Chain A
Amino acid sequence: MKSGLFTFLFAMWGLIIVGGGIVVTILGPISISGFGELNWFIASVIKAIIAIVLVVIWILILSKIKNWIFKKEIKL
């Protein structure tokens, strides 16, 4: 059981590293032009929306991993 918790910790860490990579490669380069002074604001809104979607995906993947690792324990 305890090894399951260590595995879950490690999986969370791995997801953070991979998620970071996605954020830098997808969110980082986003820039908008043609809206004058609103360019930075629109780009920020798009980045915020993508970030929220990524967080939701991260939570869903984590839930699946949790159910897989603690299959026995969560049916206590």
Chain B
Amino acid sequence: MIDLLIPAIISCIVAFFVVFFMTPPLIKILEKRNFAVKDMNKKEDVMVVRPGGPVILAGIIASELVLYAFFQMNEILAILITTSAACVIGYVDDRKVMGGWFKPLALAIAAIPIITLGAYDTDLAFPLFGTVQIPVLYLALIIFMIPITGNTINSIDVLNGVASGFMVIASFSLSICLFIVQNYEIAIVSLPLGFASLAFYKYHKVPSKIFPGDSGALTLGAMYGAIAIVGGVEIIAAVALLPAVINSFLFLSSVKRVVEHRQIKGKPVEHTEDFRLKATDDKKAPITLVRLILAGGPMSEKQVGFAIFKLTIFSGILAVITAFMMGVSL
């Protein structure tokens, strides 16, 4: 256990400080190139640069390479390749508007290295009831999991700081769960995701200086999904991700098709005179997590973000309970 401590500490420091120190220069470069979009939730015409995905990926690659130097595990390579591919897919979508099916299909292809490197176990573990062996079905699960986690995080990236803050809570919850189920090596491999997200949150929180963009959101989501698969904690990971899953579920069940947010005509949220957020009564608008949170009355962007974080902490606690339940058999 003590031999795992040094690589864990070094990789966490590398993940945090690479993102922390590389983000300000990236912001300057993006400002010079005028890669900025209007922050729709600010009263004044505030322009925010994007995408922050490359810097998040840099932090993850640097920290995971440190871990690979210590462990030489195929699981680390699988996570690195899948996460990098997801970042490239997101970057393509950041630079050029792609159709609604582009990201799910491309992310499904990004999951293939996990299969080819054999970085998975076909046993699907459930709390209380044990495991079930599904060799062929599990391959389909891998192909579906990366697009689902990637797009789920992307869909919750709607307000300043939410995607990165959400990922800090969800990924640390997942790391704790991996320690509980005694999968120590993958637990350590998962820690850089939380630390990279935490460093990025410093610049992404209200008022944002940079947006992660699709490249950032897909990087975070795909890495989370890849960790869930190689760590054999798919169900626990799904529980920790529930607030974002609810958001996607509400959106899809009201829109009833796979569609990009920009293609939706109705507005689920509008602004009050003092520029707080409030839910609209637009029947064509999709139902989203933010819209449900605002159904109780107008709130500031920061308050909505914290409401989402409270839900994420709650689902993180449920994930930890689920991890303990893995050790109990009925």
Contact = CB atoms under 8 A, between A and B. Distances in A.
Q: Do the two chains belong together in a single complex? A: yes
Nearest to B287: A74
A2 B293 CA distance: 6
B135 A17 contact: no
B246 to A, nearest CB: 7
A16 B133 contact: no
Contacts of B114: none
The A interface, classified by DSSP as helix, strand, loop or mixed, is helix
A7 B275 CA distance: 30
Contact of B296 (A2, A9, A12, A16): A2
Nearest to B319: A13
Given A12-B242, A13-B242, A21 B134 contact: no
Interface residues of B, number: 43
B72 interface: no
Contacts of A24: 126, 129-132
A71 to B, nearest CB: 11
A41 interface: yes
A28 B133 contact: yes
Contact of A20 (B129, B279, B291): B129
Interface stretch (B51-59, B61-69, B178-186, B307-315): B307-315
Given A63-B253, A73-B292, A9 B128 contact: no
Interface string A47-63: 11001000000010011
Interface of A: 1-2, 4-6, 8-10, 12-13, 16-17, 20-21, 23-25, 27-28, 40-41, 44-45, 47-48, 51, 59, 62-63, 66, 70, 72-74, 76
Interface of B: 124, 126-137, 140, 235, 238-239, 242-243, 245-246, 249-250, 253-254, 279-281, 287, 289, 291-293, 295-296, 307, 310-311, 314-315, 318, 322, 325
